[in-house]
Structure 1
């Protein structure tokens, strides 16, 4: 890659909305300039003391807030419909079931919706990076996430966790799920205090209805959180979830992406799943061609967009590894990690109603894998799920085609109303083919 370049990404294959960003090369000093009147610079997490490991975190209970601050810069203005926003560093648990920490961003709306409870949306942005500097708590300063502002405009409190944690463990289902659950624990403990400062606040502390939302990589974290919920955080009240572009099987997805526009995901996920185990990382490095190893390892310093540009359409396996993908994934520790973190449907039963939306033509995560998870697993054990298989478009297209349906469902969960074609909460298991949307262009 050139020492400096302007990367314009018209679509983010794993994002919640179509966006365009400008980024500098990772070889340059990296700061984001906030759009505030003072033009202050926002430090990346790798340089920001707020993201340093707090003393005594191992002794804190999961979900405990260990450090907090108002978000620096002018994130509230960038986001829109926001009265205040906070960054919380909280205690969580990693994929080895050891104490860990992560950061989440909490947005408070100007006005709460007209219900007798607070509505909390935990929005899992699929940031898909092996670098802590690729997390949403930093990337959100670029703008481009209008769904946050829309949710705030409905009077919902919004939680956006950096669910890959302090090691940027992209692809580790267990730690991502734990991190989501603990972020919700953390923000639920803070919400009564911050809501009490709103103009229309009631004298009593409201109850909180909570829903999860995520597409693609965000669906991974959301569904892992729901499968782990009963065993890890049964005391945590959750009420529903909308997930789209569901990625249920890590190995199937890896098989699909090498040599494609999504090839940049492969270095990031392989580095992410080995981020919490030095033995696994050593196994991965041992499989690299020595002459090209540094190029693949450079993804450790890239956000999603940078990796997408660096590895676009490359045959990552042939270019960087000595053997085929099966050989890499068969390394003992790597195989153990994938067996434990790479497949949904084996770790618990979601306890809340689900809205699942998927393009039949999804080229990144095969629809047959989602069919199996929903029809052969969740529906067989009584999960309340509405599964819509869209005949239009592919992975990116369904991202936009499914937004209206997911919002309708989330509104019914968070506000107690039913809108549009989405089945109401409590409808049991429904699997239907739909033809919805105008976005049909493949990636």
Structure 2
């Protein structure tokens, strides 16, 4: 039985955690404003959530089509940080792809191109969805007319990134990389879904791409970094015809020195423990080994907690559940449940080999969600084989602010790769005061 003092301490800790989280979110919003982006999203008639939208239902016989096959398409308006929609032509493509077990599934990508001029290349951009609820999918959250922030993830960073990518003359594919099954952190599937989104985009004539001759770059931050890492790992074998020229990713997992299970365990009991509520239901849904491990030991309160995680997006869940201890919702210790699902985590630790695709990697020294030690160790291991990695450590940023501070630097690196300029062919590590000063 927990003492009143312990309960009171946890309540005080929760209050402190909420204040800390709110200040971080406010800081990120301020950074957006300092970046010159007005903090106002355009309005439109409401659009239905994916569960109620027939566009997400594939036609009969879709299972027998090839990965990347377009099953449906429609024009859409994508919102922006301005009062008007994004200045781009945009469509959504429903296409066939593959889940982590190799089975056919469908998902949607939102594709955009500048309204004028010839596109220079294609960027597959993986947002940090980090949620098990279908209404958190980028294809819904990015649309003009999507509902308020409390019911979806905050797409402010995505609007900023998309605007800058468009201004460089690139076409963009923004896949729902968690797939129709909203699988949060699983092996391989994020790479499959994103690469098949590239295949669909290259085959979609209105984008004006050059088919498989199109140079392609991948970008993502935080949870989107994990998805982008899978693209680099799987492209040579799963989609060798895709001309992948570079991957820029930050704020996320690093490799074999940062296996997933210890990272998730590190969230338990901390200010960002709500990420567990957001991520675990999608992991359980996607893999029977994880489902069996948790279903066996979840208490009734634990099952209710997982249900809550299936109905909201990461930001409100992180705000609601700081300093949550999963041991309070299980009949055995949280770490022992993870031990029973270890084969799943062995498959999910994607960084077994150093990337062969040119990679621009960046991380905040003071990242409060993913500790930089994990990434430093992974890069050090990779660099023993001198792969084409440029790794930047930012001293002044933390997790949300680096997403904004690094945008220009990361996209300049992508611009160079898409323009055909060769990337450095060795491993380079640098520490800077702030990536916002790059090129200043």
Rounded to whole Å, the distance in 1 between the matches of 2:66 and 2:92 is: 19
Q: 1:407 aligns with which of 381, 405, 411?
A: 411
Q: Kindly indicate whether the alpha-carbon contact (under 8 Å) linking 1:17 and 1:400 is maintained by their aligned counterparts in 2.
A: no
Kept in 1, the 8 Å contact 2:128–2:224? The answer is yes
Provide the residue aligned with 1:95 in structure 2: 100
Misfit runs of 4+, over 4 Å: 8-13, 15-20, 73-81, 204-207
Instruction: Report the CA distance between 1:338 and its aligned residue.
Output: 1.5
**3-state secondary structure, aligned to 1:187:** helix
TM-score when scaled to structure 1? Answer: 0.80
Structure 2 unaligned residues grouped into runs of 5+: 1-20, 34-40, 147-154
Q: 1:435 to 1:139 in 2, by over 3 A?
A: same
1:315 alignment partner in structure 2: 324
- The structural deviation recorded for 1:171 is 0.7
User: Within 5 A, what are the aligned runs for 1:131-170?
Assistant: 131-141=133-143, 144=156, 145-170=159-184
Residue in 2 that maps onto 1:3: none
The CA deviation at 1:176 is: 0.9
How far apart are the structure 2 equivalents of 1:386 and 1:17? 28
Distance 1:365 1:431 in 2: 18
User: Would the alpha carbon gap of residues 262 and 171 (structure 1) be closer, same or farther in structure 2, given more than 3 Å must change?
Assistant: same
Per the TM alignment, residue 146 of structure 1 is displaced from its structure 2 partner at its CA by 1.9
Alignment correspondent of 2:303: 293
Query: In 2 relative to 1, CA 259–206 (structure 1 residues): closer, same or farther, beyond 3 Å?
Result: closer
The Cα shift of 1:283 comes to: 2.7
How far is the alpha carbon of 1:250 from its aligned partner? 1.5
Question: 1:284 pairs with 289, 294, 310, which one?
Answer: 294
CA contact (8 A) 2:202 2:211 kept: no
Instruction: Report the aligned-residue RMSD.
Output: 2.9
- C-alpha spacing 1:103/1:9, structure 2 compared with 1 (3 Å): farther
Alignment of 1:123-138 (within 5 A): 123-138=125-140
Partner of 1:328: 337
Is contact 2:65-2:96 (8 Å) kept?
A: yes
Q: CA deviation at 1:103?
A: 0.9
Find out whether 1:350 has 2:319 as its counterpart.
no
Match of 2:346 in 1: 339
Instruction: Flag structure 1 segments of 5+ consecutive residues without an equivalent.
Output: 1-7, 21-33, 197-203, 418-423
Residue equivalent to 2:150:
none
Q: What SS class does the counterpart of residue 393 from structure 2 fall into?
A: strand
Residues 92 and 178 in structure 1, CA contact (< 8 A), matched pair in contact too: yes
Q: How does 1:207-246 map to 2 (within 5 A)?
A: 207-246=213-252
The superposition leaves residues 369-389 of structure 1 with CA deviations (integer Å, 9 ceiling, x where unpaired) of 222332312x34452111112
What CA deviation, in whole Å up to 9, does each residue of 1:315-367 have, x standing for no partner? 23133222322111122xx32221111x1322x55342111111222232232
Q: Distance in 2 between matches of 1:95 and 1:12?
A: 33
Aligned length: 392
Task: Give the structure with the larger helix fraction.
Answer: 2
Q: Which residue of 2 aligns with 1:62?
A: 67
* Aligned CA distance change for structure 1 residues 150 and 106 (closer, same or farther; 3 Å): same
Contact 2:120–2:170, Cα closer than 8 Å, also in 1? yes
Q: Which of the numbers 207, 226, 236 marks the counterpart of 1:194? A: 207
- Structure 2 contact 269–324 (Cα < 8 Å) conserved: yes
1:252 CA displacement: 2.7
Distance of 1:74 and 1:364 partners within structure 2: 29
Partners of 2:25 and 2:68 in 1: CA distance: 30
Q: Is the contact made by 1:88 and 1:105 (CA closer than 8 Å) also made in structure 2? A: yes
1:429 matched to 2:427: yes
Q: TM-score, normalised by structure 2?
A: 0.81
